[in-house]
Amino acid sequence: MRRFCSFTVVPLLVLLMVVLVACATPLAERIVETVVVTREVEIEKEVVVTQEVTVEVPFEKIVEVTPTPLIPVVVSVTDAALEDDALGIQRQRWLLEQFHAIRPEVVINPNPYRYDLQTFMARATSLLEDTYAVHLPDARTLIEDGYAADITDYVADMPYPVAYHPALLALAQDAYGNIYGLPHMANGMGLMYNRRLFEEAGLDPDKPPQTWGEVREYARRIHARLEGVDGFNIRNEGALGGWMSVALMVTFGGETVQSVDGQWVAAYNNTAMVAALQLMHDLRWKDGTTTSDIATWGNYALVLDFGAGKTAMTIASADTLGWMIRNLDDLAVDEVGFGRMPNGGANATLGTGSVWLYNPASSPEVLEAALAFNTWREFDLAAFEHAVQLQAEHGELVGLPYINVFTGEYGQQRAAIIEKHANVPVANYANFINSGVTVRGEPPVAAQELYEELGLLLQQVLAAPTPDIKALLDASVSSFQTRVLDVINVTEVKE
């Protein structure tokens, strides 16, 4: 089995290249030829006679070698650069040229298709590429449903699997530990906090709280010591409240919607969601560390108050921080810290990520070539730095909070490259970057409707001094099942 260098990020796929490359360079060959020559020799007392003798004469001549054509191996892949993505096209062209130099017999055939669970299921039976990128939280389901090839034997002698955080690699494995893909990237919600306010409250800004119990403790201390500052706030305006509720629930474990015998079933009236809603209620009613308007607090209000130093902690994604950096001119970027999503016991965060899976119908030769391409672009540090440097040179934000899916020396090397080209204070996000938390996905069906439902429920919980949270959840689940999921179930059966 071949061993490969490896490559980085970026969805890349190649223009079709002609692969009749051969060893056709003319070679010089040393030849020895036998010839007969006439010369004079002296024999006894200066008598000269003429003789014919045989001698060997070495010389070189050019010998043409017949070219041996390479047999092309065509690999189809998803996530090609889109027509309007100039930076992506530039990156893709570079990747293809570099890989062609390494494996000239491999032809990468790109497809711009981007994964979506619904469209994927519709095209998987006939249009599945040899290697395709899917959302990391969805990988296990696709593996269990038979859409991915087992690549355990292909990577058995490679160093790559041990470079991953086990919790993240597990998302691309089955229940027996067999490997079906190698994660590409991961991201999710984290604890965004104000480092200056931490210092003013006597807290270490390099050591953000790691659990929800510590969040409550920090929030009480900040609220008590800093006048006019809320210790912790979240967004709770319409569906935002539902999104925040699911993000909190994920840290405690639990599911929102499950598939049972082919039917979607609401399952968010679980102990994890009770714990999540109870946490917010306690922050509001027991600790008094949130804004009094928390029940209807909006997105813009949050970012403005956080930027103005009126809120010390919240939960957010890297996208939120990126938006703030680009749009809030007075934001003190150096004061913003980003820590791991506080742990409620599940060591998880609501987020996303990417993993390359492989078509179980592809031949071993194609699977080997596809894996070679993916591992090369993922693990080759020069290739990774090319991607990061390209982003920085084109004015994109480099160094925003991300979950480093790699550990050990390789994880440190990638982090060093990002820090080298970063244009944001990436050191302030170290606790999040190195957290190694597992990533849980959005609700698999009717996500927006569910967020709306849970947003209303969270407002009910926060508005009442002593709500019966479990009873409210039970009533909500019953209603949501009838109004939304049962309708979807019937529709899917008809289709």
The pLDDT value given to residue 10: 36
The pLDDT value given to residue 389: 96
The pLDDT value given to residue 32: 53
* 187 close to 351: Cβ distance less than 8 angstroms: yes
Q: Which parts of 330-393 fold into alpha helices (H)?
A: 364-379, 381-393
The pLDDT value given to residue 495: 56
Say how far apart CA 449 and CA 479 lie, in whole Å. Answer: 12
Whether residue 308 is contained in a domain is answered as yes
Structure tokens belonging to residue 275:
């714990």
Structural domain boundaries enclosing 468: 190-347+437-494
Report how many domains make up the chain: 1
The pLDDT value given to residue 121: 83
First-residue to last-residue Cα distance in the chain = 45
Whether residue 224 is contained in a domain is answered as yes
Whether residue 110 is contained in a domain is answered as no
* 270 close to 255: Cβ distance less than 8 angstroms: yes
Q: What is the separation of C-alpha 36 from the centre of its chain, rounded to a whole number of angstroms?
A: 76
The pLDDT value given to residue 427: 97
Whether residue 234 is contained in a domain is answered as yes
Whether residue 335 is contained in a domain is answered as yes
| Spans of the chain, pLDDT less than 50 | 1-25
φ and ψ of 7, to 5 deg:
-130, 170
Angle between the N-to-C axes of helices 271-281 and 469-480, in degrees from 0 to 180, rounded to the nearest 10: 130
Whether residue 66 is contained in a domain is answered as no
The pLDDT value given to residue 61: 58
Rg for the chain, CA atoms, rounded: 32
**H-run or E-run covering 131:** strand 131-135
Whether residue 343 is contained in a domain is answered as yes
Cβ atoms < 10 Å from Cβ of 48 = 8
Cα angle 240, 299, 245; round to 5:
30
* pTM, full prediction: 0.84
Whether residue 90 is contained in a domain is answered as no
Write out pLDDT tens, residues 253-303: 999 999 999 899 999 999 999 999 999 999 999 999 999 888 878 888 899
Say how far apart CA 340 and CA 209 lie, in whole Å. Answer: 8
Structure tokens belonging to residue 22:
């051969």
Give the SS3 label for residue 283. Answer: helix
Which CATH number characterizes residue 485's domain? 3.40.190.10
For residue 25, give the nearest of 64, 55, 58 by alpha carbon.
64
Q: Which parts of 208-314 fold into alpha helices (H)?
A: 212-225, 239-252, 271-281, 299-307
Where do we find the tokens 């953000």? 208
The pLDDT value given to residue 126: 77
Give the SS3 label for residue 446. Answer: coil
Q: What is the separation of C-alpha 350 from the centre of its chain, rounded to a whole number of angstroms?
A: 13
Structure tokens belonging to residue 240:
């935002």
User: Beta strand pairing status for 257-260 and 263-266?
Assistant: antiparallel
